[in-house]
Structure 1
């Protein structure tokens, strides 16, 4: 609640500040917050370079990795800095923002008018809030007027991602959507060595998964010896809506219409979708039977307790991002597990949550990822767009993802890129360096065939077959969300953070309630969530859909 109040106060102060000072882009020859880019602005460039050095600041996530490299000063930032100076005469300076509190930090920076020139966030609601107050540049005319000098940006993102958030009435574009090179989302992982020790088959249904968890719990002494009291059969963490996504989706109607999904889908945690309550009720049963981590709700975003338990070998199964146990090279969950437990210890991907059709429907967003935007204080929009163009160059993406041969990767006889553990300032703090390739998430090398060949080898020290298996499962029975273009949902602005917090509380409290209290705890939490803005958003979304698409239940085919 204190964070929410602080954000509102800061936002209020920004309204006063903007009203007093006017738009920061005015009078600088680079355009204004309305997105009016001078038609001849690109003539400032000679062979793609400014005559006078321009300076821009760019946000980069600080993940606080133990033993990681400095996110603002390492091999990759030096490469970007030197190449941008050489190619465009633009001096790039990085500003670190804590990854796990990035929404709070971006709120604070925007309100104080000190945000970097190039900002990135997963929260479009945050962007919309400040756009409504005149604090974000409308990029619509910039990306079009400068199109001729942004070939890489247009080639990589395409009209789909550049226009993804375009308002159908005003034409404004407050953010560009980064592109997912790989749309995989979530997998469930299980200790294969534990299954082998107990003579169990890999579970393929919810019932089989439940039975395996019971066997883990009941054989804690055999599996963990003196550490039996640390046994966690199944873990999903405080962020239940994300971490239990495939279980939740298995309770939803596989034939759900795009209208129903959109109206009930303010965020990607599916709290208000039909079927979600039944999924959480099942988790509540498992929790009360001692099959889940007792203290899951205590450890919030950025805390490493859960990862540490996995690395130490105490967790039997968990659901997470499709490649989660294999990330981070020598500090990955898989690598630590083998060092601490033994070479046979390993997590493998499974697909145990069947839906009513007996399939495993997994909802995936369109090919969009993080949202990139420029605050109104950005007085170098052309230089900033040239930065995005450089970052979208296939050669740049490739270098940032794989680095230097024999330093961060080797090349196999068949041409596959094999990532190897790096040291010092060559360490990548994020998988495939996505914190720098902000327009691209997922392996994307210059040669598509080498990209496909290299995917399984892009995790240092990990058996490629584990990656291939997780990739296959993550792609099984996927259903891609369409782009619902109905304009801004005004009731969403300013409520993203507050409703996300309430959503997590609903999930966490209901999951950990006694079985007898589950219904009352869930219903009370939902009533509060809906009364706090959730129902208003859903109602406005329904009206917006019907205004745009009439009585259609699904988006028109393109």
Structure 2
């Protein structure tokens, strides 16, 4: 049985939740003149004249290196022009976007912050980085400014705002993560049908299915079949945690104890190790610089039988449609196979927040920054910044849900949409109708049902880590080195010979704890006890 104090957190995350989309790339192509005429949008706000002193508001913008050939630059396109026309112009503000490479965002942001040259609005997904800035006095306290200038912002971000509190002050504005499902397992349904096998619903059934894929090669790959792809520590948690002894795990353990020390974690890695030695996972997984791209290539090429990527990644990264182009009979289906002994399917889900938005303390434009984010949270502006221009890049269905259009004009507008409505991670329609939010995140209308089912599977029995708003100094100090260590650990543990597994696991965990893991664990235990001391 899952510990009763933890079981309450294992809830279906249909109301809110990588994507996930803000963490991944969508790469449509094509361009036309109509994408750069925001004034013609019927979503445009009515300008309000102002006599305020003109200012320039600088905003960080991820450069994901995914601009389609011929498309306008990410700093001057439909979205940026809509922002300038409908927020900047009425408020006598020039909104200037400062690009930062997505792959180097923390490194570049640290340089900008250290030199007092960071934009007025910056953001990151890395919590230790935010903790470091807050603790060192590098961030503006946004609480009083939000109270004065952010009424709509507070309404939209009510579930996520508390996670921007550090030591009692609102140092960050966490974007609302619309879909909290983190990872979902997908399998080639046409392969199952060819072998007359059912969809696996338990960890053991999944293993037997992978063995059948290896032995019988239903995709006719000529021996190149990779039964289970996408191996990294983040995406392996649903599988590994199906081996945890949840009766021994409390909320405090989930917060403070590293996964490597959770009861049963070793058994989960032993399972992966055996899969590796049996040739059921990619023998070269450790060489991939980008697991997402490696899995996408293997799936599109028809050699991967299953994988556990970000929820709905096959759709929003486009490789399900490419797989169908290469093989029209190919079919992916979302499954939830990894199960505990008592039939539960525990898996981590994202908390209600996504990226942390911050204003450096050195910024002279704190009020303007909050006004901008508050403007962004108005429904008509959310609709425009996430979907573009009605009739050109999207249409509304009968329920009022925006549906992307599959046209060249749409693709040259929407390839980078998630980096402009930065208060939201994922498409957003309504705080009261979660099903509409799920449907809106069907990036490709041809795969709407697939998207809904992938979110349902990724949300089943999912839990979030308890929140503590105390900055953890050891985490700030050791986060980078421990994250790099985990990559090394996974490789050495999973690829160890079967006879050497126990020693490999024990040695790697010992090294991890000695290089900072123990310090982080002990400080987190104290912070948790202090934060929840008055709660029963």
TM category, shorter? 0.7 to 0.9
Which is worse superposed, 285-294 or 434-443? 434-443
- Is the CA contact (8 Å cut-off) linking 1:88 and 1:386 kept in structure 2? no
What residue number does 2:477 align with? Answer: 494
* Match runs of 1:83-162 below 5 Å: 83-143=86-146, 147-158=147-158, 160-162=159-161
Cα distance between partner residues in 1 of 2:212 and 2:428? 41
Instruction: Establish whether residue 470 from structure 1 lines up as the match of residue 463 from structure 2.
Output: no
What do you get for the CA RMSD once the two structures are aligned?
2.6
> Could you report, residue by residue, the CA deviation over 1:332-380 in whole angstroms, capped at 9, with x for unpaired residues?
01110011122x2121100100113211123324311111112233221
Match of 1:546 among 503, 510, 529: 529
Cα distance between partner residues in 2 of 1:335 and 1:453? 22
Cα distance between partner residues in 2 of 1:346 and 1:48? 54
> Could you report, residue by residue, the CA deviation over 1:230-267 in whole angstroms, capped at 9, with x for unpaired residues?
32111123xx22111211222223453111111115xx
Cα distance between partner residues in 2 of 1:301 and 1:141? 41
- Cα distance change on mapping 1:398 and 1:375 into 2, 3 Å: same
3-state DSSP of counterpart to 1:95? strand
- Is the CA contact (8 Å cut-off) linking 1:254 and 1:357 kept in structure 2? no
Instruction: Establish whether residue 245 from structure 1 lines up as the match of residue 237 from structure 2.
Output: yes
Cα distance between partner residues in 2 of 1:104 and 1:532? 22
Instruction: Establish whether residue 339 from structure 1 lines up as the match of residue 328 from structure 2.
Output: no
> Could you report, residue by residue, the CA deviation over 1:147-201 in whole angstroms, capped at 9, with x for unpaired residues?
232122111112x533324234xx3332222112222221100011111122211
TM score, norm. by length of structure 1: 0.81
* Match runs of 1:208-357 below 5 Å: 208-220=205-217, 222-224=218-220, 227-237=221-231, 240-255=232-247, 256-265=249-258, 270-301=259-290, 304-328=293-317, 332-342=318-328, 344-357=329-342
What residue number does 1:164 align with? Answer: 163
What residue number does 1:371 align with? Answer: 356
- Cα distance change on mapping 1:193 and 1:534 into 2, 3 Å: same
Match of 2:190 among 190, 193, 198: 193
C-alpha displacement at 1:492, in angstroms? 1.6
- Is the CA contact (8 Å cut-off) linking 1:136 and 1:373 kept in structure 2? yes
- Cα distance change on mapping 1:446 and 1:535 into 2, 3 Å: closer
Instruction: Establish whether residue 428 from structure 1 lines up as the match of residue 414 from structure 2.
Output: yes
Cα distance between partner residues in 1 of 2:253 and 2:160? 23
Cα distance between partner residues in 2 of 1:326 and 1:125? 31
What residue number does 1:19 align with? Answer: none
3-state DSSP of counterpart to 1:546? helix
Where in structure 1 are there 5+ consecutive unaligned residues? 1-45
C-alpha displacement at 1:294, in angstroms? 1.4
Cα distance between partner residues in 2 of 1:417 and 1:155? 21
Q: How many residues align structurally?
A: 486
- Is the CA contact (8 Å cut-off) linking 1:415 and 1:450 kept in structure 2? no
- Is the CA contact (8 Å cut-off) linking 2:183 and 2:311 kept in structure 1? yes
Cα distance between partner residues in 1 of 2:91 and 2:125? 28
- Is the CA contact (8 Å cut-off) linking 1:234 and 1:315 kept in structure 2? yes
What residue number does 2:376 align with? Answer: 391
Cα distance between partner residues in 2 of 1:87 and 1:264? 51
C-alpha displacement at 1:537, in angstroms? 0.9
Instruction: Establish whether residue 178 from structure 1 lines up as the match of residue 172 from structure 2.
Output: no
* Match runs of 1:403-552 below 5 Å: 403-413=388-398, 415-423=400-408, 426-430=412-416, 433-445=417-429, 449=433, 452=436, 455=439, 458-485=442-469, 487-550=470-533
- Cα distance change on mapping 1:48 and 1:215 into 2, 3 Å: farther
TM score, norm. by length of structure 2: 0.84
C-alpha displacement at 1:414, in angstroms? 5.2
- Is the CA contact (8 Å cut-off) linking 1:445 and 1:451 kept in structure 2? no
What residue number does 1:205 align with? Answer: 202
- Cα distance change on mapping 1:167 and 1:401 into 2, 3 Å: closer
- Is the CA contact (8 Å cut-off) linking 1:417 and 1:457 kept in structure 2? no
Cα distance between partner residues in 1 of 2:387 and 2:521? 43
3-state DSSP of counterpart to 1:251? coil
Match of 2:344 among 327, 336, 359: 359
> Could you report, residue by residue, the CA deviation over 1:389-416 in whole angstroms, capped at 9, with x for unpaired residues?
1222222112222222232223345544
3-state DSSP of counterpart to 1:116? coil
- Is the CA contact (8 Å cut-off) linking 1:416 and 1:454 kept in structure 2? no
What residue number does 1:17 align with? Answer: none
What residue number does 1:82 align with? Answer: 85
